[in-house]
Amino acid sequence: MALAGGGAICIWNDITPEGRDEFYAWHLHEHMPERAAIPGFRRGRRYVGLDAATSPEFFTLYETETAEVQTSAPYLARLNAPTEWTRRATSAFRNTARALSRVEASLGPGAGGLLGTIRFAVAEGREADAAGLIADEALPAAAALPQVTGAHLCRTDLGASALKTTESRGRDDIGAAPSWVILVEACNEAPLDRALADLAAALAPVLDGPVLIGRYRFEYECRIPA
């Protein structure tokens, strides 16, 4: 089973110590169910860093039917009408990055208990080379590794990701979205680390700047009601 749709919203964030309990309560009982109720959303998953070296600490993945869902009227209406709980909970966010992306390639039989994220930029003029290299060579090689359950390539709509809404306007914790994202799902740390290292090495010829790698474990899944 690959990702559940053609779009992926990737969100990285830290939380202040004093906002941690409220973040968990809000995310579980309001935010993720609220997002899951938006037409075109198919699944939401939250992950937490495997160790202190992973920053930001939290990663949330929303899978949408298509990338166009991420700029749809129902989703924008929700972003422009944040609840008071949302305002309070997000005031504790730090080091946030949010990428509204299109799934370019998605391989693998299912979800894994661990997930790695690779954020990177591609050198100008090398976009087609990068897409071919990743989708045709690097991603299938990673997906074929023992205990790797999924490998996915996402390309960000930078304009949509930077759009200011009532929910994001005035927040100083939100940084620039990564233009390219690779997600790797695995059963255990060793195969995850091997896949991430292999992918980072394969990307070297087309990179513009460093890769940012995060290692996470699964915490919670919110599915669309039947």
Q: Per residue in 24-50, pLDDT tens?
A: 999 999 999 999 999 999 999 999 999
Structural domains in the chain (count): 1
Distance from chain centroid for Cα 84: 25
Q: b or e along 171-194 (b: 16 or more beta carbons within 10 Å of the residue's beta carbon)?
A: eebbeebbbbbbbbbbeeeebbbb
Q: What is the domain-level CATH number for residue 218?
A: 3.30.70.100
**Per the domain annotation, does 107 fall within a domain?**
yes
pLDDT at 181: 98
**Residue 112 pLDDT > 80:** yes
pLDDT at 224: 72
pTM confidence score: 0.97
Share of the chain above pLDDT 70, in %: 99
**Residue 117 pLDDT > 90:** yes
Domain that holds residue 99: 7-223
**Per the domain annotation, does 183 fall within a domain?**
yes
**Per the domain annotation, does 82 fall within a domain?**
yes
**Per the domain annotation, does 139 fall within a domain?**
yes
As a whole number, mean pLDDT of residues 175-184 equals 98
**Per the domain annotation, does 1 fall within a domain?**
no
**Per the domain annotation, does 62 fall within a domain?**
yes
Average pLDDT, rounded, for the chain:
96
**Residue 221 pLDDT > 60:** yes
Residue 11: how many CA atoms within 13 Å on its side-chain side? Answer: 19
**Per the domain annotation, does 2 fall within a domain?**
no
Across-strand partners of 212?
Answer: 119
SS3 state of residue 81? coil
Residue 225: pLDDT band with limits 50, 70, 90: low
pLDDT at 72: 98
**Residue 1 pLDDT > 60:** no
